[in-house]
Amino acid sequence: MKTFNITGEPITIEQCYEIAESGAKIELSCEAEENINRCRATIEKLMAEGRTIYGVNTGFGKLSNTRIRNDEAESLQKNIVISHACGVGNPLPPNVVRMIMFITVLRFAKGHSGIKPETVKTLIEMLNKGVVPVVPEKGSLGASGDLVPLAHIALVLIGLGEAEYNGDTMSGADAMELAGIKPVVLGYKEGLALLNGTQVMNALGIYALTEAFKLYKTANVSTALMMEAVKGCMPAFDKRIHEIRPHKGQISAAAEVSSLLVGSKNVGKSEHIQNPYSLRCVPQVHGATLDALHYVKGVLETELNSVTDNPLIFPDDDDVLSGGNFHGQPLALALDFLAIALSELANISERRIEQLVNPQLSGLAPFLITNSGLNSGMMIAQYTAASLVSENKIYASPASVDSIPSSANQEDHVSMGSISARKLNTIVENVRNVLAIELMCAAQAIDLSDTADGLSPQTAKVYKAIRQRVPILDKDRTLYPDINEIASMIKHGELML
């Protein structure tokens, strides 16, 4: 994608992700610019009439009853930006910041925020010329949206703060000057419009969800590879079982694993008539995760196409309404749900790893290494997987059940949705590494069980791809490079079939 024309009409998560990753140029359509102009004209008209409008000629939060003179409007909007930019922690990745900025423009294009067209165009110019604000990851309560991180983006827009430009970190003023962009002077409501909203948790959620679909696919692949290694039983994947408990994800997971094993000469050759739960119940466990992914996708896509600042302007009615669309609860709940669902992919994967490394369960060489005792083989790889699974149990605890009042109790219930999003991305990384360990162990088990010649065409592709990058373990060596290599393959979608 080279150019994307923003019209104010809905877009998909896939489009949003592609734009953020590809560096596509952004354009504002005539329709979107008209939406923005009409809304701005309404604000100007209402101010000329002497209306009192929250955040436009009043203070913010608990200070909403403090009236601000019209000649102080610019100072008011600048002050909210500089006072709210108090984030801490590591910077968010540049691609995430780019997506946050893009979602911000999408919302303004719908024409309910009251921002000037020139300000929106400057934000687009920053995107197109590669000025990426440095945004600390911590500080958002998730209502009034992601105030703190969004303030760090707005800082650069007005020539302050820090930014990355051409790979270097510098002052926001220098980045804007080098890119040939003139910083904006904020007018009525603009600082508030730039800071209110759920763009940060939305963007982090979209990135996590995109990776989550890869992890789901990879988990099915690793299951199929393990089925080959242990010559597992196929009845548990028979579609007749799943048709009489017709959860969509369960049916899909069973069909996907079955498809991967078509043509295998290994499966069904075991003397056991039942697989352990970590194999037998894959359709039910992986399938439930898939159902969760689709639910979360619906929430994130709805939010992507929503207007979430405050107050909101309705030009057709000459009205301004103060509400709570900035509250991140829909996202917080969904992202916590996704954290739980992804954690389960790692939980069951670690149990499959144990099935392979434990000789009492697998019938193979202890810890998948010949001359065990002298060699520890994959023993400690299972430790690492267990450690990651245990860590996920902490991160899967919901942030959305917590709330700490702020702004002198005016903002007395908040979502903590940004925390939900950040810990979810940690879980994504942990699950990727657990699956990498399972794939590493499954490939090793295939070599030890002499089942490589009987692999299905699909699992053979995966096995060969792994062996091209990670050789068989014939004696102890450092394993972390192997885990990292396979994790990289997962991240880049190289093991999805």
| 54 in active site | yes
Question: Of the listed 17, 54, 216, 383, which one is catalytic?
Answer: 54
Listing DSSP states for 95-122 in one string gives HHHHHHHHHHHHHHTTS-S---HHHHHH
**C-beta of residue 212 within 8 angstroms of C-beta of residue 338:** yes
Q: Three-state SS for 218?
A: helix
Rounded to 5°, the CA angle 100-326-117 comes to 55
Nearest-10 crossing angle of helices 248-260, 457-469: 80
**C-beta of residue 373 within 8 angstroms of C-beta of residue 302:** no
Only one residue has tokens 């499959």, namely 352
Only one residue has tokens 């392979």, namely 356
Helix and strand element counts for the chain (H, E) = 19, 9
**Cα of 410 vs its chain's centroid, Å:** 30
H/E element holding 246?
A: none
Q: Hey, CA dihedral for 159, 160, 163, 168, is it positive or negative?
A: positive
Active site residues: 54
